[in-house]
Structure 1
Amino acid sequence: MSENTMRWAAALPAVDDRGGALRVWARGWWSVVHLVLHPVVLGLHLTALVLLVVGIALVPVFGTGLLLLLPARLLVGAGGRLERYRLAAVLDVHVPAAPRVPPEGSWWRRVVLDARPWRSAGHLAVVCTLGVLGAGVVLALTGTGLAALAAPAVAGGLGHDSLSWPFGIPGTLDAPGPLVVAGGLVLLLLAPPVACAFTAVEVRSARALLGPGRREREAVLRRRVQTLTETRSRTVDSVEAERRRIERDLHDGPQQRLVSLAMQLGMAKRALDRDGPDAAREFLEAASGSASAAISDMRHVARGIHPPVLTDRGLDAAVSALAAASPVPVDVEVLFPAEQRPSATAEAIAYFCVSEALTNTAKHARASRAVVQLWHEAAPGDGLLRLRVSDDGVGGAAPAGGTVADGGSGLRGLGDRLAAVDGWLHLDSPAGGPTVLEVAVPWTAGGAR
């Protein structure tokens, strides 16, 4: 069984063996459709290849071939994009485009040594040869099979009792009608697996020639390592700043309350020893108030680290609590079921993004209303947790189309946390408003809960 056929079989729902084989065979007709479409795009591909070959041949002739290489390169690129689209639309095979990694040096080196158009031309050559050959074979199988199935009706209409193989038109080679029909059925049964074999080769060629090559993959990995190094450094700085903030909050809040509580208890003890219970009552009441205030301050600090409601009840309840506490009216729309929860890391990052956005809205936006939307977006892997926070305020938080780098330090810290888990943050806040903050974080970032 070909690679494509096995891939299709794995994508099908669980059925019994006979139903599964029948469904795989039926899906194979998509390979037939893909091959039959080859003659439609053959003109574009052949034009691109002919211009490329003639242009290369004429380069030594006073450089005249350069006039053909530019349109050839454009057509080769268009052909490669068309093939990626056809593979995705017909066969559901998604081939990512190779990122542009220009060679270092002069402009002609960057143009001539860019491997992408040459590799695309190689795939177009495969389509124009093996693909068109496969289209001819599949058309012959299906056409002959359909003609054989229709042969009895054709022969009966012409008044003949016997049929000629394989087209059913009376001739010198006669065969019984049931044998012709059986042969037609066999040809139609063979067409999908033969088409799958041809498209499997074509898919391998597309992934090898249209997708990222070794050089592009290495460049992507180098950029990834550089990004991770930078985000790690910024994340460490952000964690250190968060640690200092928590230390400052504890010092300014609960620690002062506890010091006051200790002093009041000491004064209550001395008053009790000196003047009796009535004199100590006032100090004990003050100490009780200090203890309650210390507990409240501790809860406030704990919510700033990680709110318990987020762990217990999820994003919907936690974001709703933020909206209820906001001085600006906030509408919350959570567009995934409460039982469908992302990882704890994704929830925490999304929560603090919403918290930072609503805090900025209350402080600076002069808005009359804000809207928070959260949803699960389909993407490779388990998808993305997406959120959007918008308000109708005065805007100006960043230049139009600006990113997190243009925003405040709070958003920059969140942007660093997002970059560390392959997420992103975009802030659009033109002067006069509205302000829209969009965030995406991998649904399973940080592992399972």
Structure 2
Amino acid sequence: MSDETMRWAAAVPAANHPGGALRRWARGWWAVVHLVLHPFVLGLHLTALVLLITGTALVPVVGTGLPLLLLARLLVAAGARLERYRLAAVLDVRVPAPPRHPRATGPWWRRVVLDPRPWRYAGHLALVSTFGVLGAGVVLALTATGLAALAAPAVSAALGHAGEHAWPFGIPGTVRAPALLVVAVGVLLLAAAPPVAAAFAAVEVQVARVLLGAGRGEREAELRRRVVTLTETRSRAVDSVEAERRRIERDLHDGPQQRLVSLAMQLGMAKRALDRGGPEAARELLEAASGSATAAIADMRHVARGIHPPVLTDRGLDAAVSALAAASPVPVEVEVHLPPGQRPSPTAEAIAYFCVSEALTNTAKHARASRAVVQLWHEAAPGAGLLRVRVSDDGVGGAAPAGGTVADGGSGLRGLSDRLAAVDGRLHVDSPPGGPTVLEVAVPWAAGGGR
């Protein structure tokens, strides 16, 4: 097989293969279920539409339509939420609700009447009440007729009208057809129901994305808000990196650098002692220099662990967090429930590791806790999901207000919050006075790009 043929075969959608087509046909029955549910919600939708139209028409009449309009808005919003839930539950199609508008200016009645969202929702309910109900009727007719055709020969035989021509049910004066042909027609009608339902449902899904989702103005407002947020988080991330650089410089200056200076001085003194013929004094100085070298190595390892531990790269979060727990002066229990054979992105791993490291450091320094628990797991979410981290202890609390705000929780927590904000992560701290303290982190599984 040539390379061009292989590339063409790989580009063919799975639904074009027999197995894919069969699975697609089977999924079409969910579209049948979705359409069949239309008549059950028709009453709510029609009531909301009638109230909305009547209330709008009566608003100029000394405002008599405003109560109806307010009630209609509530019903329209409820109908929109019901449709979003139905699309997600039956068709596995999620249509996010548009973001809330900032508080607008002007008279309240003007905001009520001119808010575009209820009108878009009402347009979708009108579509569901017409096109959707029409699709439900077509699909129900196909399904019911197909089932009747399959059952017709058996029912005709049970009624004593069995024979070569037994359709439908052997009732005199009706059209007759061979039983085998009747069954074949029934099979064809039932086979046609899922594709027809899928076509109707596809139209509904596209319209729902337009009318139930965010409008153009809302999308632009959300993009502007996103740009502002990214600008702020970028600035905080730069400040966080600069603070981390200064911390590393301070750690190097206060630890390994002082050890190495002491080591150099001890070696120089040992050399002069040997030159003067004092081997015992030189031996003592060399032993002190050996101790300084060992301490310098330990300090360097500590600083390197604060930058990015090699065990995190080589063996992953489970081993790295277990090493942190083993080095903690407070007994720590570690629970890791990550998908076997899968690892989050290096950025997500590093952020989760430093969150655990900071939390355990605070526990050891300030919490006066007798034990701590670290939990890591994967949470399903749109996209690749989330890497969730929870660190709890039984200490005295007070790391941050009980509501989870980290603004007053110390520079370490603020640094973690800034680092998480740069990758759309979240940090929540619950640490009331008297404890316990619970720190929860959510990091996008593929933050900064996957492996």
The separation in 1 between residues aligned to 2:417 and 2:133, in whole angstroms, is 50
Correspondence for 2:3? none
- Counting only pairs closer than 5 Å after superposition, residues 387-406 of structure 1 correspond to structure 2 as 387-406=389-408
Q: 2-side partners of 1:203 and 1:332: how far apart?
A: 44
State the TM-score, normalized to the length of structure 1: 0.92
SS in 2 for 1:334: strand
Q: What is the aligned partner in structure 2 of residue 129 from structure 1?
A: 130
SS in 2 for 1:175: coil
Is 1:86 aligned to residue 86 of structure 2? yes
Corresponding pairs, count: 437
Closer, same or farther in 2 for the Cα pair 1:152/1:79, shift >3 Å? same
Report the Cα distance in structure 2 between the residues aligned to 1:380 and 1:97, rounded to whole angstroms: 15
What is the match of residue 327 of structure 2? 325
Which aligned pairs between 1:153-302 and structure 2 lie closer than 5 A?
153-160=154-161, 161=163, 169-275=171-277, 277-302=279-304
* Distance in 2 between residues matched to 1:16 and 1:70, nearest whole Å: 50
Say which SS state the counterpart of residue 439 (structure 2) adopts: strand
Correspondence list, 1:39-54, <5 A: 39-54=39-54
The CA deviation at 1:90 is 0.9
Q: 1:163 to 1:117 in 2, by over 3 A?
A: farther
Note if contact 1:164-1:171 (Cα within 8 Å) is conserved in structure 2: no
| Separation of aligned partners in 2, 1:444 and 1:156 | 63
Question: TM-score if structure 2 supplies the norm length?
Answer: 0.91
Q: Give, in whole Å, the separation in 2 of the partners of 1:171 and 1:47.
A: 44
Pairing of 1:22-33 with structure 2 (within 5 A):
22-33=22-33
Q: Which letter maps to 2:317?
A: L
| Partner Cα distance (1:171, 1:363) in 2 | 94
Indicate the residue corresponding to 2:69 in structure 1.
69
Question: Residues 103 and 114 of structure 1 are in contact (CA less than 8 Å); yes or no, is this contact kept in structure 2?
Answer: no
Task: Give the Cα separation in 2 of the matches to 1:394 and 1:103.
Answer: 41
Q: What amino acid sits opposite 1:141 in the alignment? A: L
The residue number in structure 2 matching 1:139 is: 140
**RMSD between superposed Cα atoms in Å:** 2.1
Equivalent residue number for residue 150 of structure 1: 151
- Residue 439 of structure 1: how far off its partner (Å): 0.3
**1:83-120 deviations in Å (ceiling 9; x for gaps):** 01111111111111111124732233433332221111
**Counterpart residue type for residue 411 of structure 2:** S
Aligned to 1:5: none
Task: Return closer, same or farther for 1:416/1:133 CA change in 2, 3 Å cut-off.
Answer: same
Separation (CA, whole Å) in 2 of partners of 1:390 and 1:225: 34
Deviation at 1:275, TM superposition (A): 3.3
CA 1:167/1:217 → structure 2, altered by over 3 Å: closer, same or farther?
farther
Alignment of 1:386 with 2:362, yes or no, is no
> Could you tell me how far 1:216 is from its partner in structure 2?
1.7
Q: Flag the 1:340–1:383 CA change in 2: closer, same or farther, 3 A.
A: same
Q: Which amino acid aligns with 2:428?
A: H
| Amino acid in structure 2 at the alignment position of 1:40 | F
Look up the SS of the partner of 1:174 in the other structure. coil
Provide the C-alpha distance between the structure 1 equivalents of 2:294 and 2:180, rounded to a whole number of angstroms. 95
Aligned-residue offset at 1:377 = 0.9
Match of residue 117 from structure 1: 118
Which stretch of structure 1 is more off in the superposition, 117-126 or 171-180? 171-180
Q: Offset at 1:309?
A: 1.6
- Aligned residues of 2:348 and 2:446 also touching (Cα < 8 A): yes
Q: Contact 1:164–1:172 at 8 Å: present in 2 too? A: no
Q: Report the Cα distance in structure 2 between the residues aligned to 1:72 and 1:118, rounded to whole angstroms.
A: 11
Q: Residues 365 and 395 of structure 1 are in contact (CA less than 8 Å); yes or no, is this contact kept in structure 2? A: yes
Aligned partners of 1:363 and 1:45: how far apart in 2?
A: 60
1:420 alignment counterpart: 422
- Equivalent pair of 1:148/1:167 in contact (CA under 8 Å): no
- The CA deviation at 1:180 is 2.3
Cα deviation, 1:226-266, whole Å, max 9, x if unaligned, reads 11111111111111111111111111111112222222222
Q: Are 1:396 and 1:433, in contact at CA under 8 Å, matched by a contact in 2?
A: yes
* Partners of 2:327 and 2:297 in 1: CA distance: 19
Deviates more, 1:96-105 or 1:203-212: 96-105
Shift of 1:366: 1.9
User: Closer, same or farther in 2 for the Cα pair 1:302/1:126, shift >3 Å?
Assistant: same
1:292/1:210 CA distance change after superposition, 3 Å: same
Cα separation, 2, equivalents of 1:82 and 1:153 = 41
C-alpha displacement of 1:53: 0.4
**Match of 2:255, SS?**
helix
Contact preservation (8 Å) 2:32, 2:193: yes
Q: Separation in 1 of the partners of 2:118 and 2:16?
A: 46
380-389 or 391-400, larger mean C-alpha shift: 391-400
Q: Could you say if the C-alpha distance between residues 111 and 441 of structure 1 is closer, same or farther in structure 2, counting changes exceeding 3 Å?
A: same
For 1:333, what is the secondary structure of its paired residue? strand
Q: 1:291: how far off?
A: 2.0
Q: Which residue of 2 aligns with 1:435?
A: 437
CA distance in 1, matches of 2:184, 2:372: 69
1:46 and 1:163 map into 2 onto residues whose CA distance is: 45
Amino acid at match of 2:270: A
- CA separation of 1:250 and 1:47: change in aligned 2, threshold 3 A: same
- Superposition deviation, residue 406 in structure 1: 3.6
Cα distance, 1:150–1:278 mapped onto 2, change above 3 Å: closer
Give the letter aligned to residue 241 of structure 1: A
> 1:154 is aligned with what amino acid?
V
1:191-224 alpha-carbon deviations (Å, 9 max, x no partner): 1111111111111111111112212221221111
Matching residue of 1:7 = none
Of the three residues 347, 350, 364, the one matched with 1:348 is 350
Distance 1:198 1:165, change over 3 A: farther
How far apart, CA to CA, are the structure 2 residues paired with 1:99 and 1:170?
63
User: Which residue identity does 1:149 align to in structure 2?
Assistant: L
Aligned residue for 2:56? 56
Q: Structure 1: give runs of 5+ residues left out of the alignment.
A: 1-12
Q: Tell me the residue number matched to 1:371.
A: 373
Shift of residue 316, structure 1, vs aligned partner? 1.0
Work out which of the residue numbers 315, 318, 330 in structure 1 matches 2:317: 315
Task: Indicate how the Cα distance of structure 1 residues 19 and 261 shifts in structure 2: closer, same or farther if over 3 A, else same.
Answer: closer
Q: Which runs of 5+ in 2 are unaligned?
A: 1-12
Q: Contact between 1:168 and 1:180, CA under 8 Å: does it hold in 2?
A: no
Aligned pair in 2 of structure 1 residues 53, 162: CA closer, same or farther (>3 Å)? farther
Q: Residue 155 of structure 1 aligns to which amino acid in structure 2?
A: S
